[in-house]
Amino acid sequence: MQYVAGIDVGSTQAKGVILDEQGNVVGEALLDMETNMGTAAERVFALALASAGIDADAVAFTVATGYGRYRVTFGDLQVTEISCHARGAVAAFPATRTVLDIGGQDTKAIRIGPSGEVVDFAMNDKCAAGTGRFLGAASFALELPLSELGPLAMKATTPVKITTTCTVFAETEIIGHLAKGRRPEDVLMGMHQAIATRCASLVRRVGLTPEVTFTGGVSRNEAMVALLQEVLGMPLNVSPRAHFMGAIGAGLYALDNARAGRRSVRVREAIS
Amino acid sequence: MTAPYPVLEGVDARTAGQRLINQWLASLNTAHERGQPVAYVFVMGNAVEILRAFDFALVFPEINSLQTGVRKASAEFLAKAEDFGFSPDVCSYVKADVGLMLSNMQHPSGVTMPMPDLAIASSMCNVYIKWAEIWERHFGIPAFVLDLPGKRFAHWQAPAGSRQREADTRWVLGQLQDLIARCEQITGRKFDRDRLAEVETYVNEMVRLWIDILAFNRNRPAPYNSMLDGLTYMGVLNAWRGTREGVEYMRLLHREMADKVARGVGRVPNERFRLIFSGTPCYVNMRRLIELFESHGGVFPAADYLTYAAGGLDSAGIFYDPSRPLESLAEVTTLAAQFGLSNHFFSHHTLAQQAKDYLADGIVYHGIKSCRTVATSMADNREYVSTRYGLPTLYIESDLIDPRYWSDAQIKNRIDAFFEVLEQRALLANAS
Amino acid sequence: MAIDAEAALMTLLERCHELALRNEVPDDEYPEVIGYFPVYFPEEIVHAAGLRPHALYGGGNKIEVRLADARIGSFVCSICRSTTELGLNGTLRGMKGFFAQPICDAARHMAGIWGRNFPRQMSQLLLLPQNANSPATKRYVYDEYQRLRSELATQVGHEISDAAIRASVHVYNENRRLQRELYGIKRDDPARLSTVEAYLLVRAGTRLRREEHNVILREALHLLTERRVHPRDKPRVVFLGGFCEQPPLEMIETIEDACFIVDDDLLIGQRWILADVPEEGDPVWALAESYVDRSAWSPVQYDARKPKGEMLMQMIREARAEAAIITAAKFCEPALDDQLALAHRLNAEKIPYLVLEFEEKMTSFEQMAMQVETFAESLLFQ
């Protein structure tokens, strides 16, 4: 049995998965990012291997993705997370034609063709509004952990309209609303709505085609899922593996290469 | 026009181009000493032919500003303008020029830019006009605004002999006559019609060669990269338009390109994908931007920049008639404005056509943060073109010269992903 | 009597408010509607064709922009996005035509965006010149107006006669006189008529036939004479920046809480022609000549006879103002470029001023109120 690895080195987290010959996930690991992307990648790889109960020699091929993909010294190939998220989403939900990935730092909308290939993509990678960071501002202002934001927002009755488009001013605006006596859940729902609107716009830029798969860390937020379904007017596929979608996609590209007979340089060196 | 001009003898086009640009810049240092009047002009719509007839030295503030980017000095100039009070959202070319004015006209190229005796702004970019107003206040000279009537809608036609063509040409002719009177006033010289005719014959030759050079890139592999090499060619075309030297340079370039085509030599060693570029360069990261594409075997055989930033003369459809120099100047200028310079707003069909003509695999749209002339409707244009024509398109964004808007990792990411799309498409196409 | 007048005025203003902010152009709208983007458009020619000119001033702060963001670049003013949104969300589906003028680069793109997205509406640029100073200018404007006339004639299926245009000019001359009277009250007796009220009265005209608007303006002017006025001591200021994208009403109110706005450029396109357009002779020539020789000024129009600093000083003098509020819509290049020049001139003339940026979609004004109050206080304590 041989295995392949997918490593996703993002700006906030590093993720690694080990896949078997059939493409099943047999090991996974997730770490918060440190300043050195290279060592973070090595650590998450080691943890993923441990989780799979194998060691590095058993891995035939490794694909690295994410912003730090060129820092993964043991990576055999670099593929962008656009292609990897698309691949991972289609693997989880074969009828996927649109992917929305809201990450900590950026947001992407990807349109997928009939053969599972990326046809078009649009990114919001300059402005934090419309990304997970906008919620980070809310988390800070309300002094609540990120995981509690969704459930609290769902309790809103009269959401507050948030007009600021800048994350820097979002905190001020939230505090202003709270000072005026608005309820935290209403303010929070307003924040979610602002993100949903921006993300829906990104999706429309590539063309909204069902089925839509929602990936990335923010897809674990139930309020976000509910809002996006409403704004886009259709149900969304959400995977419990959302965090790992990019790494899984990378792993699947690694599997393609392994099946084509390509071997990792590491392995070739070890054999000779 | 017999023997080649000495400075260009025995050198290749690249060297020739560099020499000519340096010579032009150096001549600006001493323009006033030599008694030469100085004109500030823009690349999209000017009346260089008339100015040559009066022997004006030409300053192109757009070139000054882009050079601050190329020479990595733009951040400092922009900071000066912003400290002075200009909003960050104002066009970065304007701010760099304000920075230059606040630096006693000391330009990073080593040239002390001369002050203008005349400034000509055209209506092809509204910011030109605001820029000219800044000069009016700073230098105390009145601006000359050349209003060029562009395309009114996408399928605009103005056939020869039509009332519309006559009306528009009449307007431009009237303004050119006003300009001549202004030049006579400033220089104390009389307008020399024969000199205008002579300048026009040089321009005709340069444009004829330029049209050919643009067309050479329809070949596979493309002999030059329009968004890298093309920028130098265009620089010479603008700064030396209407001169013997300019003609010699274009001839040299033409010979070299024709030769490359004959030998099948491409700019990019392994030309894998051909792309149309819409937008302006990012001058502060010019090479890096192109490298990100060339590293994947991507080349730009065509770019709309080479049309509009070179006066649009390749789109006019006719050449100057030196027997009626002023009238034909008005006519060609009007047509260049309508079909070359004002196409930004309605370029969806022309881009698709270009993709066909140049055997392109896709279109890259480069949005510019501070340039609304280029960027406002790019997203809409892209949506239309990719849906209607099924062409893969990429949207990236930075700025002309503001380094704060260049995000290497993000831009590389988008470009890498785009090539993954193109590769996939190629694979699927081969499989079927 | 005075109480009835006030009540009647309030009712009139409420109607104007509803009209002013109305954007809907349904399918069966009659007369048929031709929309135009700011600043100035020769409405008389549209009116003479039997069509209704519909000035597009954006979606204000009540509209949700959902569809337009995918079409328009990020560093572009809000009025472009909200206008595109009004098209994409069907609000303007009944419009028969869309015109934009070359006031700025973003506006020129609107014609292209409109044409691609709404192919059944005539979408064009009306190329008013940026060179007002040539002997050839009037002829050019005349020819461009004749082009417009012929396009509209095709649209309605019949010729538009000179007599019809002259008749429209007559109606619009009356309209402009009435607007000048309103502005005269604002300047000479600002406690009698607030800028917000004048604004609603003027903007309502963009949703009515001009003849109906004339009736409303005459009625308003009459009721105003009967209004009981409470004198107040507020600093007199001029307001600049409202020539295209409109500041929210709440913003104007915020400023008026602290100052009298005795002159402004709000909706200036509606008052662009400053004196009567001649009603004899060739009416299209009269309109062209008026555009060149009898018109106002703004950051989007170059004219060597109207340097911006001079025009501002003239405005301040004629309005007997003591200070200026110089605003710009976010990302509005022409206004931002001029702001600095105007500030420098005001510095040189030692006239106090406040510089602000706004967006039509703003909903919170506390920060701005603080700046304006502080500014007004500084004027009172001079």
Tens digits of residue pLDDT in A241-253: 888 999 999 999 9
Compute the average pLDDT of residues B233-239. Answer: 96
User: Are the Cβ atoms of C140 and B170 closer than 8 angstroms?
Assistant: yes
A165 touches chain C (CB under 8 A): no
- The reply to whether B357 falls in a domain is yes
Q: What is the pLDDT of residues A190-212, one digit of tens each?
A: 889 888 988 888 898 888 999 99
Among C70, C362, C366, beta carbon nearest to A205: C70
Q: At what angle do helices B126-139 and B92-101 cross, to 10 degrees?
A: 10
Res. C7: pLDDT tops 90: yes
The CATH number of the domain where A17 resides is what? 3.30.420.40
User: Is there a contact between C75 and B136 if contact means CB atoms under 8 Å apart?
Assistant: no
- Cβ–Cβ below 8 Å for C67 and A173: no
Interface contact flag, C71 B137, Cβ < 8 Å: no
- What DSSP designation does C79 have? H
Tell me the nearest-neighbour CA distance from A240 into chain C, angstroms: 29
Neighboring chain C residues of B381 at a CB cutoff of 8 Å? 112, 116
Number of domains in chain B: 1
Among chain A residues, the shortest Cα distance to B408 is held by A67
**Taking Cα atoms as reference points, which of A101, A187, A86 lies closest to residue A142?**
A187
Q: Is A67 within 8 Å of B413 when comparing Cβ atoms?
A: yes
Side-chain-side CA neighbours of residue A38 (13 Å) = 4
* Strand, coil or helix: A28: strand
Residues A88 and A99 in one domain: no
Q: Which of A26-35, A154-163, B254-263 has the lowest mean pLDDT?
A: A154-163
- Residue B45's pLDDT band (boundaries 50, 70, 90)? very high
Mean pLDDT of chain B, nearest integer = 95
pLDDT tens across C143-156, in order? 999 999 999 999 99
Domain range for residue B283? 6-431
Domains of chain C, residue spans: 23-162
Q: How many contacts (CB atoms, under 8 Å) link B and C?
A: 181
Q: What's the longest Cα–Cα distance across chain B?
A: 72
Q: Do A163 and C363 touch (CB under 8 A)?
A: yes
* C-alpha to C-alpha distance for C128 and B211, rounded to whole angstroms: 32
Choose the weakest-confidence range: A161-165, B360-364, C308-312, C345-349.
A161-165
Q: Do C70 and A127 touch (CB under 8 A)?
A: no
Q: Is A205 on the interface with C (CB under 8 A)?
A: yes
Is residue A20 domain-shared with residue A116, that is, in the same domain?
A: no
Residue B119: which pLDDT band, with cuts at 50, 70 and 90?
A: very high
My answer on whether A3 and A124 are in the same domain is: no
Determine the residue among C364, C367, C368 to mutate to test chain A binding: the one whose Cβ has the most chain A Cβ atoms within 10 Å.
Answer: C364
Inspect the interface and report whether the beta carbons of B410 and A118 lie closer than 8 Å: no
Cα angle vertex B310, ends B308, B314, to 5°?
80
How far apart are the C-alpha atoms of B361 and B344, rounded to whole Å?
21
Residue A64 and residue A20 share a domain = yes
Q: Which residues, numbered 118 to 177 in chain C, qualify as contacts with chain A under a Cβ-Cβ cut-off of 8 Å? A: none
Q: Mean pLDDT over residues C327-347, rounded? A: 96
- A19 phi and psi angles, rounded to 5 deg: -115, 150
Average pLDDT of the segment spanning B205-211: 97
Q: What is the predicted pLDDT for the residue at B61? A: 98
| Cβ neighbours, 10 Å, residue A87 | 28
Domain that holds residue A78: 1-93+243-272
- Measured in angstroms, the CA of B284 and the nearest CA of chain A are apart by 18
Q: How many domains does chain A have?
A: 2
CA distance C214 to chain B (A): 33
With cut-offs at 50, 70 and 90, classify the pLDDT of residue A137.
Answer: confident
Cβ-Cβ contacts under 8 Å, B425 against chain A: 117
CA nearest A218: which of A158, A153, A155? Answer: A153
What pLDDT score was predicted for residue C382? 64
- Residue B297 amino acid letter: G
- Per-residue pLDDT of C110-127, as tens digits, reads 999 999 999 999 999 999
Residues A107 and A54 in one domain: no
**Does domain C23-162 sit in CATH 3.40.50.11890?**
yes
A48/A70 same-domain check: yes
* A contact test, residue of B386, B413, B427 with most A CBs within 10 A: B413
Are residue A121 and residue A18 in the same domain, yes or no?
no
- Residue A268: the pLDDT is 56
Same domain, A179 and A100: yes
Q: Which residue has the higher pLDDT, A267 or B43?
A: B43
Nearest to C66 among A122, A163, A200 (CB): A200
Report yes or no: C367 at the A interface, CB cutoff 8 Å. no
Neighbours of C109 (CB within 10 A): 29
What is the model's pLDDT at position C74?
84
pLDDT of residue B2: 45
Mean pLDDT of B52-81: 96
With cut-offs at 50, 70 and 90, classify the pLDDT of residue B1.
Answer: very low
Chain B residues inside the 8 Å CB shell of A126:
397, 407, 410
Residues A89 and A222 in one domain: no
Phi and psi angles of residue B56, each rounded to the nearest 5 degrees, phi first:
-75, 145
- pTM score, whole prediction: 0.91
Instruction: Please report, for residues A167, B41, C132, C302, C358, the alpha-carbon distance to residue B145 in angstroms, rounded to integers and kept in the order given.
Output: 42, 11, 9, 8, 30
C289/C42 Cα distance (integer angstroms): 12
pLDDT-based confidence at residue A272 (cuts at 50, 70, 90): very low
A107 beta partners: A102, A124
First to last CA, chain B: 56
User: What DSSP string runs through C145-158?
Assistant: HHHHHHHHHHHHTS
Q: What is the rounded average pLDDT of the residues B115-126? A: 97
Are residues A263 and A224 located together in one domain of the fold? no
Chain B residues touching C312 at Cβ < 8 A: none
- Examine the pLDDT at B425 and tell me if it is beyond 80: yes
A115 and A159 together in one domain:
yes
Contacts of C198 (CB under 8 A, 6+ apart): C182, C183, C185, C186
Q: Tell me the pLDDT of chain C averaged across its residues.
A: 96
CB contact B386 to A (< 8 Å): yes
**Model confidence at A69: pLDDT above 70:** yes
Say if residue B254's pLDDT is above 70.
Answer: yes
Residue C314 predicted with pLDDT over 70: yes
pLDDT band at A266 (very low <50, low <70, confident <90, very high): low
List the single residue in C105, C139, C340 with the smallest CB-CB distance to B372.
Answer: C105
CA dihedral (B74, B78, B79, B81) in degrees, to 10, reads 140
The three-state (H, E, C) secondary structure of A80-128, written as one string: CHHHHHHHHHHHHCCCCCEEEEECCCCEEEEEECCCCCEEEEEEECCCC
H/E segment holding residue B332:
helix B325-336
Same domain membership, residue A227 and residue A249:
no
Q: Does C382 touch chain A (CB under 8 A)?
A: no
Q: What pLDDT digit, counting tens, does each position of C159-207 carry?
A: 999 999 999 999 999 999 999 999 999 999 999 999 999 999 999 999 9
Query: pLDDT band at residue C51, thresholds of 50, 70 and 90?
Result: very high
Alpha-carbon gap, residue B292 to C154, rounded angstroms: 51
Exposure string of C287-302, with b = 16+ CB inside 10 Å and e = fewer, is bbbbbbeebbbbbbbb
Instruction: Pull the structure tokens for residue C199.
Output: 């604004």
Q: How confident is the model at residue B415 (pLDDT cuts 50, 70, 90)?
A: very high
Q: What's the token pair of residue A209?
A: 């085609």
Residue B1 lies in a domain: no
Confirm or reject contact between A123 and chain C (CB < 8 A).
no
